[in-house]
Structure formats: C-alpha cells, structure tokens
C-alpha cells in the first residue's frame, strides 16, 4: 500500500488549533503501517468523549467544542480518520472501503485502550463510529449521533439501482454549481427512499470525478452561508474559465491544509461512493448485522441533529424508537447549523453532551 503523509509545516499557522498531537501506528491490513493522529485534551481521569469527524473535514472541526467540553470536566479524544487531517493517507481508491475504515479505527481504539466512552459522531464519523460500537460494545457507555446515520436500503427498485449505477459510471463531470443545486434540493435521507439515492449520487460523482476536489472552498460554503457572496465570483470563474477553486478565508485554508496536492485527496474523493445507499453495496451484510445489534442496544443513545441539513435531515427518526437506548432521552433538532453543526452549534452541542453524560 502506498501511503502519503502530510508535512507538519502545512499545519504550522493554525492559531485556533493549539492541541498537542498524539500518534498511533496500526496495521493497515496488508503488512504496512498507518499512523493515525488524535488530540487528547482534559483530565486523564475524566469521562471520555470520543469525537469523530466525517468527509471532507478533520479534527479541526472540533476545535470550538474541545475547550467547552474540557471546561465541563470531560476528556476529549478527537482522531483524524485515515486519509484526513494529520493522519496518514492511503493513495489508492480501493483502500477506502467502509470496512477498512471501521477496521483501522477499531485497531486504533484497541491500541489506545480507551474505555467507558461517550461517542459523538457526525457524517462518516457516525457511520464508522456506530460500527465501532458494534465491534467493541464493552468500551462504550453512551452514544450521541449528529447529522449522520446507519444507512441500509435493501428495498430499492432495481430500475432505480440501475439508473444510479449508470449515472455514477458514465464518465461525465459535474460542475460545482450543478452539484450544489441538486444537493440543496435533496428530500433528506429520512425522506423519499427512492429519490434520495439518485440525488446523493451527484455528490458521489462530483467528489470522485474531481481530482483536485476543492475541500477548503467546499467547507467555506457549507459553514458560512452569510458570507456566501464571497464565493460567487470564484465559482463563476471556475465554471466559465476553468480556474481552480481555492479557499478564500483562514477557515477554508485550515480545511485545505491536510492536502498539499491532489494526490493526497483520495480519501475525500473515494469515501462518498462507499455510503451504502443501494441494496447492491458491499457493506449491506455488515449494516444488516449492525442494525440487528442496535435494535437490542439499551445503553443511552442521544440524537442531536439540524433541521436545515439536506443530507441527513430526518435521519434521527431512524434511531428514535427503534434503538431501545433512545427511549426517554432529550433528543434535539436545532433549527439552524447546516451539515457541519460543530461549527455553528458548538455551544448547544457541548452543553447537550455534558448534560446527557451527567443525567445518565
């Protein structure tokens, strides 16, 4: 396995990310070694909150929540998934299967011997984190999920499956505006189970067919809607003249930092296609097993979602009532916050997680 490592100098100017790095070497599965980075803040004897990010972000996403949780008396562990942040980055698409990420993070968990964990997962942090709970239930005391899910769609009509697969494979490239237009109109993963896979396929296709995926620029768009006017001119130049989309703010540059050039972006490009939206996806058996586990899971389980996230809107309903541990918990749907709710709802999230731990 070819593995890339982002130079430390790329992270040298992040004044709002003052956390000491910690590194763990794990078996990549083929005899090679992956180095996984995490931050570890707070009293070493305090209750652990394990914060998992998704695609295309990294643990920088939790920089606002870390001091709030630590000041509440908690210990915060926030790793970078392989392919992201300060963690090593496998260079080939085939290395980024759903199962590989679950296995890598499970080995990381065991190597650090973390236990009595409250896990918070968002986006892929939820998809991977929930499977970690299934594989290592003795290490987890509570689950908190935000803007994520445990996708499993086994009832989709074959005609729709064929249409999605043909769309993904036709080789065409989507412009950023056209992709954004479709994604912004998604019915939500908790909505129409037939319309969602084809809509989400626009994100899957855009990511894979954009070798220099504009990670920092995309994060700016998702996080700072009031400043969206600042990105309209670069988007127009990109659409009509083919210019590169580079981040325009310090925030965007921080999210672009892990990727010195396009060869480092295989994780963000490849992983959307691993989301199991179809009954033909290879992770369906493991997802089926995971749902059987969670239908018996009676440890405390809390959902903290946002109402304005087109990607995961409504997915809290797939957990509440179906997972026994959700019964009687103070679930919340924040009216605003977008998909990356850690950026705009950091105070509400931190307070809710602390109170959840305190009450349970």
Residues 330, 333, 336: CA angle, nearest 5 degrees: 145
Q: At residue 150, does pLDDT exceed 60?
A: yes
CB atoms within 10 A of CB 347: 11
Tally Cβ neighbours within 10 Å of residue 88.
25
* Domains present along the chain, CATH in parentheses: 3-152+283-359 (3.40.50.1820), 158-274 (no CATH)
Taking the CB of residue 22, how many other CB atoms lie within 10 A of it? 14
pLDDT of residue 228: 53
Average pLDDT of the residues in 174-199: 80
Q: Tell whether the model's pLDDT for residue 191 goes beyond 70.
A: no
- pLDDT-based confidence at residue 234 (cuts at 50, 70, 90): low
SS3 99: helix
> Using 50, 70 and 90 to split pLDDT, how confident is the model at 181?
confident
- Cα dihedral 356/40/312/105 (nearest 10): -120
The pLDDT value given to residue 219: 94
What pLDDT shows up at residue 241? 46
- Nearest alpha carbon to residue 93 among 220, 272, 282: 272
The mean pLDDT of 44-65, rounded to a whole number, is 98
- What pTM was computed for the model? 0.94
**Which has more confidence, 69 or 238?**
69
Q: What is the Cα–Cα distance from 259 to 239, expressed in whole angstroms?
A: 23
Q: Any idea what DSSP says for residue 47?
A: P
Residue 307 confidence (pLDDT): 94
Give the per-residue pLDDT at 175.
84
Q: Which residues are catalytic?
A: 123, 309, 339
CA distance 218 to 212: 12
Give 294-338 pLDDT, tens digit per residue.
999 999 999 999 999 989 999 999 999 999 999 999 999 999 999
**Rounded CA gap, 4 and 88, in Å?**
6
Distance separating alpha carbons of residues 200 and 97, to the nearest angstrom: 18
CA separation for the pair 190, 188 (Å, rounded): 5
Residue 1 in tokens: 């396995």
């Amino acid at each position: 396995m070819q593995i890339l490592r982002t130079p430390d100098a790329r992270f040298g100017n992040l004044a709002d990310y003052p956390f000491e790095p910690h590194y763990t070497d794990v078996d990549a599965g083929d005899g090679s070694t992956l180095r996984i980075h995490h931050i570890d803040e707070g009293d070493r004897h305090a209750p652990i909150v394990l914060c998992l990010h998704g695609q295309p972000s990294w643990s920088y996403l939790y920089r606002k929540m870390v001091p709030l949780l630590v000041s509440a008396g908690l210990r915060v562990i926030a790793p970078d998934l392989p392919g992201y942040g300060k963690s090593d980055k496998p260079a080939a698409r085939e290395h980024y299967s759903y199962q590989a990420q679950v296995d890598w993070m499970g080995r990381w968990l065991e190597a650090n011997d973390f236990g009595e964990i409250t896990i918070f997962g968002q986006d892929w942090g939820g998809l991977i984190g929930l499977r970690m709970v299934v594989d290592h239930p003795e290490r987890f005391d509570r689950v908190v999920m935000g803007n994520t899910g445990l996708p499993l769609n086994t009832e989709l009509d074959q005609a729709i499956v064929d249409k999605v697969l043909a769309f993904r494979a036709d080789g065409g490239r989507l412009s950023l505006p056209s992709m954004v237009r479709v994604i912004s109109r998604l019915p939500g993963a908790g909505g129409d189970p037939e319309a969602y896979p084809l809509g989400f396929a626009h994100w899957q296709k855009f990511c894979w067919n954009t070798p220099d995926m504009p990670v920092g620029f995309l994060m700016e768009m998702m996080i700072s809607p009031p400043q969206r006017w600042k990105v309209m001119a670069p988007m127009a130049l990109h659409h009509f003249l083919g210019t590169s989309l580079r981040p325009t703010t310090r925030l965007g540059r921080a999210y672009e930092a892990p990727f010195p050039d396009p060869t480092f972006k295989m994780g963000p490009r490849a992983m959307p296609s691993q989301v199991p939206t179809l009954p033909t996806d290879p992770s369906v058996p493991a997802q089926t097993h995971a749902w059987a586990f969670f239908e018996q899971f009676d440890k405390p389980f809390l959902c903290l979602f946002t109402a304005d996230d087109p990607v995961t809107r409504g997915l809290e309903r797939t957990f509440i009532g179906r997972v026994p541990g959700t019964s009687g918990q103070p679930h919340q749907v924040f009216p605003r916050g977008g998909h990356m709710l850690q950026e705009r709802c950091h105070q509400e999230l931190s307070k809710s997680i602390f109170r959840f731990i305190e009450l349970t």
